[in-house]
Structure 1
Amino acid sequence: MTGGGKSALASWRRKRRSGQRGGAVKSVLLFLAGLAALAAAALGVGGWLGYRAATEPGPASDAVIVLLPHGSAVSTIAQQLEDEGVIKHPEIFIAAVRIRGVQGEIKAGEYEIPARSSVMEIIDQLMEGKSILHYFTAPEGLTTAQIIRLLNADEVLEGEVTLEPGEGELLPETFAYTRGETRDGLLRRMMKDQDALLDEIWDERAMELPFSTQGEAIILASIVEKETGVPEERARIAAVFVNRLKRGMRLESDPTIIYGLTEGEPLGRGLRVSELRKETPYNTYIIRGLPPTPIANPGAASIKAVLNPADTDDIFFVADGTGGHVFSSTLREHNANVAKWRTIERQRKGRQ
């Protein structure tokens, strides 16, 4: 091919590449124009002005709590958001939801909308469905009746308590929940959590325990729970009761007597000698073995302590004056410890 022919061919190729690039640019421009037209049609406010309106900061100067009921239409939500002062124009919210195609992804719930949130940011938050979390705490060692009273006093939970869980069937802990959860629902969670815990740890229990069922373990764990508020003592308190059961000794636990007198409500005073001798199914100064039911709802730590008690020969314990207990393996040691405790009690009364 002559030099002139090569030059003409090169010129033709440059024009072709230039035309391809021009076509790509035209395609991009057409695509952007289409987006603008779609935005204009959906937002009804003129293309990118509509997009700008949906992304600019909202009118709320402070965070606002908004509760969106289940089954609310997008238009209803938009009107509610305007009424709450977090958006200015409901039609912008409706159009933005539709242009994004997320009508079915807006979740009901209770939301804290941050100050100055834009329409787009609010939509993102409602799509994530991260509702405000509330918390209910059932402390360890409460009776079932006491936990139900706390549930009834909670102002966020809904519905009446219709379930009737037995004593010791609940696992006390702190539960996170969203507005709309029922009191029965939380009770079911407590019961399921206890079942799940027992299923998890039962096979890892110590050998030769003086009980054979999960129900008996909960009874003993409830006594341990009521005997000490010191976490480090639970396994050793459990060991004392396990050792006494193995030897056929009575448990002699004051909290069991109180439960037999008041069904677990605070006595408000010390036990009387007549009450120590009063015959009830729960008086472990009189009965041998375990009482017929738990005396409270034990926490996970007390249940674990009963299934794996400390390795010790202790069969006695008494208060030490600091909130804990002193332990002993012989009656002689125990009597000496009791004498020390009586001295502490007298000194305290003398200072009152």
Structure 2
Amino acid sequence: MWRSLASNVMSLMVVALFLFGGVLLWGQTQYTSDGPLEAAICLRVERGSNMTRVSEDLAEQGAVSSPAIFRLGAKYGEKVNLLKAGSYLVTSGASMAEITDQITRGGASTCGTEIVYRVGVTRVLAEVRELDPATSRFVERAEFQPGVEEVPAEYSRVRDQADTRFRIALAEGVTSWQVVEALKSMDVLVGDPGPRPDEGALAPDSYEVRPGTARADILADMTARQNDRIQAVWAQRSDRAAVTTPEDMLILASIIEKETGVARERRQVASVFTNRINRGMRLQTDPTVIYGVTQGEGVLGRGLRQSELRRATPWNTYVIDGLPPTPIANPGLASLEAAVDPDETDFIFFVADGTGGHAFAETLAEHNENVARWRQIERDRNNN
């Protein structure tokens, strides 16, 4: 009798263990398999939240089939206490394991609201944008010029939210003075920026920042990034390059940057200046004259006067031979690359062609024809 009872108990235990193992296997499969979410959502994890609240929110939005399994999986993976506040883009079909990993590994939010400070050549613009999960595109909520226009209520509302992201987008061709003044206008940054960085020393790029970031630290980051680019590009210079030092490369790149905003033209423009340097011709480029007038502090806002074209300044390439003593702006990576790897051409002239680009010429006669064509375009525009 006792043997029979013991045998039955053992059988029940085996069955129970088998069932338990099956349940674990089923739960693991549910945790790692594709989830039920049909369209992407933006999951917002508030500061001080926990896995229970998050799992219930996910279930309400149709992202998980079982809040309990989601919590057990997070607990089994020892991630319950690693939850990070923020806004996360949960894509359609994301598994519970993928969602757990996303909300616990940290880093920048992947959706929600961001404030972008765009530092351009003519103005600084603050944009409040929100990612639409359905289209993965940002929808603009507000924009204004910091320090110039009234601050919108929407900006003030989202600026202090824990999951709002902040980014500075530095355009190619801005001057160091413009960058410093722009940083001063951003109220989420702190501290004195310190001495103005040398012209050309800052890398145009996108920079993630946080409220309370020191302005001097951002400038240091921009400088370090530009130094890395200069070293990398200089190491790859071609035999066609006319510049003989990294410093001259930076100066020429800044001129190329100010002469054209058309990507496909950069190496052509570089070829013009390379050919002029090799032939001992003066560069005769207007942006250097403008820099001699403004010193990089603001935009000239008008055409150059004949007296300014004749005025002797260290940067006036109509007057001086060779390159000016310093860069005239902060060039981007593409212009740096063009300065040391120009197209192989015989061009020594170029002028605007009316489309935003330029017409290039090998001879003065061809150039004069292009100039006449451009002047006719200007006259037609003024008459309309």
Percent identity among equivalent residues? 42
Which residue number in structure 1 is paired with residue 284 of structure 2? 252
Q: 1:26 to 1:170 in 2, by over 3 A?
A: same
Deviation at 1:339, TM superposition (A): 2.2
Structure 1 residues 44-89: Cα deviation after superposition (integer angstroms, max 9, x where no partner): xxxxxxxxxxxxxxxxxx9796774xxxxxxx667xx9xxxx9xxx
1:158 to 189, 204, 215: 189
CA distance in 1, matches of 2:331, 2:220: 16
1:222–1:294 contact (8 Å) kept in structure 2: yes
Change (3 A) 1:66 1:153: farther
1:340, 1:128 → 2: CA distance?
59
1:149 is matched by which residue type in structure 2? E
Aligned mates of 2:256, 2:293 — CA distance in 1: 19
CA shift, 1:125, in A, is 6.3
CA distance 1:22–1:138, shift in 2 (3 Å): same
Aligned residue number for residue 290 of structure 1? 323
The count of aligned residue pairs is: 287
Q: CA deviation at 1:190?
A: 2.1
Match of 2:234 in 1: 202
Which of 295, 304, 326 aligns to 2:359? It is: 326
Structure 2 counterpart of 1:274: 307
Q: Compute the displacement of 1:103 (Å).
A: 7.6
Q: 1:234 to 1:99 in 2, by over 3 A?
A: closer
Question: Aligned pair 1:21/2:52, yes or no?
Answer: no
1:132 corresponds in structure 2 to 109
For the residues of structure 2 that align with 1:166 and 1:104, how far apart are their CA atoms?
Answer: 46
Of the structure 1 ranges 204-213 and 307-316, higher mean CA displacement relative to structure 2 is found in 204-213
Call closer, same or farther: CA 1:235–1:101 in 2, change over 3 Å. Answer: closer
Unaligned runs of 5+ in 2: 22-40, 58-71, 91-97, 111-164
In 2, the alpha carbon distance for the partners of 1:30 and 1:218 equals 68
CA change 1:180–1:66 in 2 (3 A) is farther
* CA 1:207–1:24: 2 relative to 1, 3 Å: same
Q: Which digits, 9 at most, give the CA deviation of each residue in 1:104-136, with x for residues without a partner?
A: 6344x544699xxxxxx9987653324436332
Which structure's residues are more often helix, by fraction? 1
- Corresponding residue for 1:168? 200
CA distance in 2, matches of 1:181, 1:112: 23
RMSD: 4.0
Name 2:344's counterpart in structure 1: 311
CA 1:345–1:113 in 2, change beyond 3 Å: closer, same or farther? closer
Residue 146 (structure 1) shift: 1.3
- Superposed counterparts of 1:1-352, under 5 Å: 18-24=8-14, 68=47, 105-107=82-84, 110-111=86-87, 127-132=104-109, 134=165, 135-155=167-187, 157-163=188-194, 164-179=196-211, 181-264=213-296, 265-351=298-384
Cα distance in 2 for residues equivalent to 1:158 and 1:348: 43
Q: CA deviation at 1:196?
A: 2.3
- Relative to its length, the structure with more strand (as a share) is 2
TM-score with structure 1 setting the length = 0.68
TM-score where L is the length of structure 2: 0.63
Distance 1:30 1:334, change over 3 A: closer
Larger radius of gyration: 1
Q: For structure 1, which runs of at least 5 residues remain unmatched after alignment?
A: 1-11, 32-61, 69-75, 87-95, 115-120
Deviation at 1:290, TM superposition (A): 0.9
